């Protein structure tokens, strides 16, 4: 363990001197010891990979703040934790941003979303302009006649998520048709 740690400092010293091989080795070692740490904090492997790339980029960007004279790992972990917190903050902010008001949801759930007053054919042009998933849901419910529950089963979403997506699509369509 001590040998690896001292190797990391040496590798960084060599990297700061412009040694490309030492730098590549150092980044590999860094990715190797950071990966388990990130796996403990994040669920999906794709998230771990994305964040690991961001951390390596950050290490590259601020490598001048390391002089090779003090332990390398605390420095690398400080950057990793900083990027992890930033990632989690953005992740939850996005989720909060895309969350919908419960009152809207309650209204939507009361609606019979499979009942339509105008024919699908008359608005198919507008439907095609919707986001892919919303268009698919509208098409399945109004052209092919599936219920929200059946659509949910077929496309692997929850029933309430299908209803919410349908509700959003209706709002968009209503807005487009009123213009």
* Burial group, residue 13, by CB count within 10 angstroms (0-12, 13-18, 19+): middle
DSSP letters spanning 31-50 = HHHHHHHHHHH-S-HHHHHH
Contact region for other proteins (CB under 8 A) — 19-27, 103-111, 125-133, 168-176?
Answer: 19-27
Residue 20 lies near other proteins (rule: CB under 8 A): yes
Q: Is 87 in the site for other proteins (CB under 8 A)?
A: no
Q: Is 16 in the site for other proteins (CB under 8 A)?
A: yes
Contacts of 110 (CB under 8 A, 6+ apart): none
- Give the span between the Cα atoms of 141 and 113, in whole angstroms: 8
Single out the residue of 2, 3, 43, 74 in contact with other proteins (rule: CB under 8 A): 74
Minimum gap (Å) between residue 101 Cβ and other proteins: 29
Query: Residue 120 gets which letter from DSSP?
Result: T
Binding site for other proteins (CB under 8 A): 15-18, 20-21, 23-24, 27-28, 31, 49, 52-53, 56-58, 60-68, 70-71, 74-75, 77-79, 81-82
């Amino acid at each position: 363990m001590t040998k690896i740690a001292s190797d990391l400092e040496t590798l960084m010293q060599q990297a700061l001197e412009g040694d490309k091989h030492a730098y590549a080795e150092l980044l590999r070692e860094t990715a190797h010891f950071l990966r388990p740490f990130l796996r403990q904090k994040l669920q999906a492997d794709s998230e771990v990979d994305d964040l690991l790339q961001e951390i390596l980029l950050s290490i590259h960007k601020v490598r001048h703040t390391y002089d090779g004279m003090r332990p390398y790992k605390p420095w690398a972990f400080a950057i990793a934790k900083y990027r992890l917190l930033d990632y989690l903050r953005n992740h939850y902010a996005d989720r909060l941003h895309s969350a919908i008001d419960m009152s809207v949801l309650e209204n939507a759930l009361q609606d019979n979303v499979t009942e339509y007053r105008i024919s699908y054919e008359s608005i198919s042009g507008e439907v095609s302009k919707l986001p892919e998933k919303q268009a698919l849901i509208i098409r399945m419910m109004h052209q092919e006649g599936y219920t929200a529950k059946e659509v949910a089963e077929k496309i692997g979403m929850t029933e309430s998520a299908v209803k919410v997506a349908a509700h959003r699509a209706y709002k968009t369509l209503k807005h487009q048709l009123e213009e």
